[in-house]
């Protein structure tokens, strides 16, 4: 190891772990993976709590993708348990399906519409928009203001601390509207959970003799000490540059875990609360993990302005500031930025894996 490492990778989440694994196994490169938390797997980290219930420490993570290449890639490191996520929203005192579908509207309004009639119901209420630019436009142009107010406005204000009209359309567009009875949260071709959890999957990805993992270490503590030829950075891009152009906004969350002495508490994986409580949603872990246990853990998500940076905030001025940082990043020959925080993109896990696999193909060889 006299020559040090070929790559120093910052962050042991999906972006860092995929690149470490590819460089080690496909190019026989030596990688030092540095992570400031005391565990691998980034925000996908899961662990068994004191009662032996498997929990996702950074909120519920459901794997779904249409990309066969991503699913096949991860399948090298885990077996899967098929899981289709279902969510109910508490609206007007009733638990109804979200994404809004035929049953949502029929239940809320005591109707018996067909799919065609529901399409007409939406059309009669939809507001005309020349262009769909914001998270308000996208919903009111499809279903009208009343359903927007019931399902999206309060949730979005709570989650982001912003009005939907202050956010890009892409945010609420993540949640579709349906005229059939499909009540799955996602419709991707591949929907499954790692059979033994995310952390176990990461452990297998990183179990290569060319990969060394250093936990509880900020890369800045070792970057000068450990020789390396190229740096791969998956932390917040503005932090890399010492916030020299000003801080990029992020949204944070606080998680509250509550243990129940019963095997099952709620009918679906998640319940959303658009108009009640300080939390946005609560998720029963065992629906996701499939674990058999006589206790059950629910996680409640409380949005916060301060704290770990979990979400980039998609809106034009933030995009512009990110682009300014990206221009600085492009000038650095020996540094590559990747991941949700490294490229300031509201990416799901599969999108981060796809981005990392693509980055691997174009990464400068050293
Ligand atoms: P991260 O997982 O954030 O990893 C980056 C790592 O870098 C972190 O561990 C951090 O500690 C480390 N780091 C940063 N700076 C430094 C430094 N200076 N030195 C050392 N280490 C550093 N996606 C889905 O597909 N399905 C879901 O259901 C889903 N649910 C989610 C729920 C919540 C509440 C959140 C917040 C996200 C969810 N996601 C979900 C998104 C998913 O978490 C991300 O897409 C994915 O984890 C991003 O991987 P990453 O490697 O880019 O970043
Ligand atoms: N959203 C909403 N009501 C809901 C669910 C989602 O208003 O019942 C909006 C909200 O702005 C949220 C966004 O749609 O942040 C994306 O929702 P998703 O469930 O994809 O959020 P994530 O799982 O990434 O936190």
- Cα–Cα distance for residue pair 321/248, rounded to 1 Å: 7
Q: Given the CA of residue 172, which atom of ligand 2 is nearest to it?
A: 14
172 ligand 2 Cβ < 6 A: yes
Nearest Cα residue to 138 out of 314, 338, 336, 343:
314
Q: What does the pLDDT read at residue 3?
A: 73
Please give the distance, rounded to the nearest whole angstrom, from the Cα atom of residue 284 to the centre of ligand 1: 21
Helices 349-362 + 68-75 axis angle, to 10: 90
Going by their DSSP bridges, the two strands 228-233 and 5-10 should be labelled as parallel
Domain ranges of the chain: 5-40+206-249+313-362, 100-173
What is residue 159's predicted lDDT score, i.e. its pLDDT? 98
Phi, psi of 279 (to 5 degrees): -90, 155
Pocket test for ligand 1, best of 11, 16, 282, 285 (most atoms within 8 A of CB): 11
Nearest CA, atom 22, ligand 1:
11
Nearest residue CA, atom 19 of ligand 1? 218
Separation of 158 CA from ligand 2 center, angstroms? 10
Gap between the Cα atoms of 118 and 101, Å rounded: 9
pTM score = 0.98
Distance CA(108)–CA(335), nearest Å, equals 53
DSSP letter at 7 equals E
Nearest atom, ligand 2, residue 152 CA? 7
Let me know if domain 5-40+206-249+313-362 sits in CATH 3.40.50.720. yes
Instruction: Walk along the chain (366 residues) and give the pLDDT tens digit of each residue.
Output: 457 899 999 999 999 999 999 999 999 999 999 999 999 999 999 999 999 999 999 999 999 999 999 999 999 999 999 999 999 999 999 999 999 999 999 999 999 999 999 999 999 999 999 999 999 999 999 999 999 999 999 999 999 999 999 999 999 999 999 999 999 999 999 999 999 999 999 999 999 999 999 999 999 999 999 999 999 999 999 999 999 999 999 999 999 999 999 999 999 999 999 999 999 999 999 999 999 999 999 999 999 999 999 999 999 999 999 999 999 999 999 999 999 999 999 999 999 999 999 999 999 899
Ligand in nearest proximity to the CA of 138? 2
Residue 159 CA: nearest ligand 2 atom is: 15
Q: What do you get for the CA distance between the two ends of the chain, in Å? A: 16
**Ligand 2 centroid to 108 CA: how many Å?**
20
95-112: pLDDT as tens digits: 999 999 999 999 999 999
Cα of 156 to ligand 2 centre, how many Å? Answer: 7
């Amino acid at each position: 190891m006299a020559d040090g490492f070929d790559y120093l990778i910052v962050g042991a989440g999906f972006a860092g772990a995929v690149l470490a694994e590819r460089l080690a196994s496909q190019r026989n490169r030596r990688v030092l993976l540095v992570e400031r938390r005391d565990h691998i797997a980034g925000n996908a980290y899961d662990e068994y709590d004191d009662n032996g219930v498997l929990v996702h420490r950074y909120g519920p993570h459901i794997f779904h993708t249409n990309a066969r290449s991503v699913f096949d890639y991860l399948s090298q490191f885990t077996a899967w348990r098929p899981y289709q996520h279902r969510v109910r929203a508490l609206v007007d005192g009733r638990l109804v399906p979200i994404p809004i579908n035929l049953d949502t509207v029929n239940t809320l309004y005591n109707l018996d519409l067909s799919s065609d009639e529901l399409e007409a119901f939406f059309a009669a209420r939809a507001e005309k928009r020349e262009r769909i630019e914001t998270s308000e436009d996208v919903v009111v142009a499809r279903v009208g203001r009343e359903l927007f107010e019931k399902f999206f406005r309060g949730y979005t204000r709570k989650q982001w601390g912003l009005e939907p009209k202050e956010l890009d359309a892409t945010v609420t567009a993540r949640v579709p509207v349906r005229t059939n009875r499909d009540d799955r949260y996602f419709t991707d071709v591949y929907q499954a959970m790692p059979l033994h959890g995310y952390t176990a999957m990461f452990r297998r990805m990183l179990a290569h003799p060319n990969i060394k993992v250093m936990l509880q270490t900020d890369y800045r503590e070792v970057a000068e000490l450990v020789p390396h030829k190229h740096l791969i950075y998956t932390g917040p891009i503005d932090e890399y540059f010492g916030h020299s152009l000003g801080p990029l906004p992020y949204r944070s969350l606080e998680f509250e875990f509550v243990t129940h002495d019963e095997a099952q508490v709620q009918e679906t994986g998640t319940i959303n609360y658009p108009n009640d409580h300080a939390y946005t949603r609560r998720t029963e872990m065992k629906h996701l993990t499939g674990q058999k246990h006589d206790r059950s853990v629910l996680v409640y998500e409380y949005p916060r302005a301060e704290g770990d940076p979990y979400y980039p905030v998609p809106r034009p001025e933030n995009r512009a500031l990110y682009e300014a940082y990206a221009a600085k990043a492009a000038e650095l020959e020996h540094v590559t930025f990747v991941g949700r925080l490294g490229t300031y993109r509201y990416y799901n896990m599969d999108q981060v894996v796809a981005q990392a696999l693509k980055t691997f193909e174009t990464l400068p060889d050293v």
